Structure 1
């Protein structure tokens, strides 16, 4: 069975955010919980929801009143997206009330905060690679020079791909990722974001 079919079975072939049925698609909730999307890290969402999640300028607050129901979902990825969207809409007033009622496990909350949606624009820390390209949690980067790994004899070689990075929420210069089996902190000046073709 495909991922889309699994999610359709889980959701009754409805958008897991607004219960719409038009142009349903698999939406991978970044950064992937399981390291690769899958049922636990994805939701089934309609075109309207996906467009508004990915394009904040298109946000129609009335559409998102559906979060009153979806925020109680038993599925972590659905709850995370609901929490993020409520934070984006906080200035409307009513989302604050829903956020006050919403319960999330510590791990779910950490995952939800990865997007930075809960921060005001002035508080957001933007991570950029050596070329100034914005890095997001879950991106893949390539090292542009050999890096000695602190506290070990290991050297991470130039050209090494580091997949599914996580961001340091206190320092725009630091990201984390795995080189081989080792999780390391990398300075953003020494990485270049990989395109999907790479």
Structure 2
């Protein structure tokens, strides 16, 4: 876990600090999140059925557009656009986007990394270039929520989470969610960012 600047696990049951830390480490590794997180703090209060996870993230990657992964130009036939992909990985996502916008019958794939789109009367090169193939922020938010849910104790099914730029907070409980717990999570995050919390560097 050497790439995480600060990794802190706190619980009112001291004997459970090591096991909880191992659980969080394993989840971070399994989801490939170690390189995305700068600092993380987990607080568990079993007697109150409360679980907090707060984290600061490294810079979120920008949107990936078609122009980032392919050459886009006018096709040979009138009203068509030629897309030549640099790699195959984003192909399924791109096909889905093109099918949604133009219809399946308007998209041909003469070669594995070549698509020809019939856009009708107008050649929509710029429109296709600007299509978003991947939103890392959206993917990251889903992965963070999955990470926190996996790390939280079983039965803590009432949950709140948010991702604001590079700040993530997560609260889980067995009881009805209280606004003061969300406020406390924000305070835990601010302390983590200010170094107002002790924890071993990982």
TM-score exceeds 0.5: no
Q: Which has the higher helix share?
A: 2
TM-score w.r.t. the length of structure 2 is 0.26
Q: Which has the higher strand share?
A: 2
User: RCO (CA 8 Å, sep 6+): is it higher in 1 or 2?
Assistant: 2
| Larger radius of gyration between Structure 1 and Structure 2 | 2
